[in-house]
């Protein structure tokens, strides 16, 4: 696998003057996701947990809904100038009877680290319909549990501690148990890795769970959570207007500015007790 960090010299400027010191940078490399040998998307990601990322991406795009929908995932064709495998091309073979991706899923160009919906073949395909609606989930989460989640997420972000350059996503039970935490240079990739892990564990739909993200709550993150049946999405920063609109439409609880002992409840406040 590719390295997740890269060491580079940097000129440190401070009260004591200038000095050269090594610095750890988070790695960013392209991953081409193929289905049945056909290129579907290219995303800029931090290497690692690529199979989870692909499973989560296909889940949140509505291509698959269960771990049994994937027959095999394998690296292929990605080589450097010396013929060594770069592990940057992943091909997914769907199980018999699983239809191939709809043409609307295809990206016309690469997906950047910051945007999970860039390059959609049709903008109408952005608003997907989930097979696991979170609207009927009657989970209740205490305020005291929610306010402790950001500290747990940060504690488990090992790479962020050494680089300061990654987004984090964590899946928690309703009583605050951390089920999985993933990091990536792209916030949507971090969420895909978490949801892909859950799919592989047979946990989807993710009833009675909380998905916490380290940045803002954007439209595509709400959509991804809804596609996996997540009833509560929390973010340490702000949501967008379209994120709030979609969360309300899907019957999700959307929490923003989860910091210290305070938070903003934008939708579904009845789940927070």
Residues known to be catalytic: 115
Q: Is the dihedral of CA 191, 192, 197, 199 positive or negative?
A: positive
Instruction: Measure Cα distances from 193 to 29, 54, 188, 189 in Å.
Output: 16, 8, 9, 6
Query: If you write DSSP's letter for every residue of 135-176 in order, what string do you get?
Result: TT----B-HHHHTTHHHHHHHH-HHHHHHS--EEEEEEETT-
Q: How far is CA 150 from the centre of its chain?
A: 16
Q: How far apart are CA 44 and CA 12, in angstroms?
A: 28
**Distant-in-sequence, close-in-space partners of 178: CB < 8 Å, separation ≥ 6:** 152, 153, 156, 170, 171, 172
Please give the C-alpha separations between residue 244 and each of 221, 222, 234, in angstroms, as whole numbers: 11, 8, 12
CA proximity to 227, closest of 240, 244, 211? 211
Contacts of 121 (CB under 8 A, 6+ apart): 103, 104, 105, 106, 107, 108
What's the start-to-end Cα distance of the chain, in Å?
44
Q: Are 232 and 101 in contact (CB under 8 A)?
A: no
**Separation CA 170–CA 130 (nearest Å):** 21
Respond yes or no on whether the N-terminal peptide bond of residue 205 is cis (omega within 30° of 0).
yes
């Amino acid at each position: 696998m590719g390295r997740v960090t890269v060491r580079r010299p940097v000129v440190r400027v401070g009260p004591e003057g200038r000095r050269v010191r090594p610095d750890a940078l988070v790695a960013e490399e392209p991953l081409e996701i193929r289905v049945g040998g056909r290129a579907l998307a290219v995303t800029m990601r931090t290497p690692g947990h690529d199979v989870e990322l692909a499973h989560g991406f296909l889940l949140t795009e509505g291509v698959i809904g269960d771990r049994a929908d994937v027959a095999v995932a394998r690296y292929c064709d990605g080589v450097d100038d010396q013929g060594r495998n770069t592990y940057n091309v992943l091909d997914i073979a769907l199980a018999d009877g699983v239809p191939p991706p709809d043409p609307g899923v295809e990206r016309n160009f690469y997906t950047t680290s910051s945007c999970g919906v860039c390059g959609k073949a049709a903008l109408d395909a952005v608003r997907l319909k989930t097979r696991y609606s979170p609207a009927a989930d009657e989970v209740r989460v205490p305020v005291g549990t929610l306010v402790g989640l950001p500290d747990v997420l940060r504690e488990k972000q090992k790479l962020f501690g050494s680089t300061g350059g990654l987004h984090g996503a964590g899946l928690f039970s309703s009583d605050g148990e951390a089920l999985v935490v993933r990091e990536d240079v792209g916030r949507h990739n971090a969420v895909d890795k978490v949801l892909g892990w859950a799919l592989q564990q047979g946990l989807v739909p993710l009833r009675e769970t909380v998905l916490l993200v380290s940045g803002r709550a954007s439209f595509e993150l709400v959509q991804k959570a809804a596609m996996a049946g997540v009833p509560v999405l929390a973010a340490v920063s702000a949501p967008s207007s379209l994120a709030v609109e979609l969360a309300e439409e899907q019957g999700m609880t959307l929490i923003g500015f989860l910091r210290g002992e305070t938070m903003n409840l934008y939708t579904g406040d009845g789940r927070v007790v």
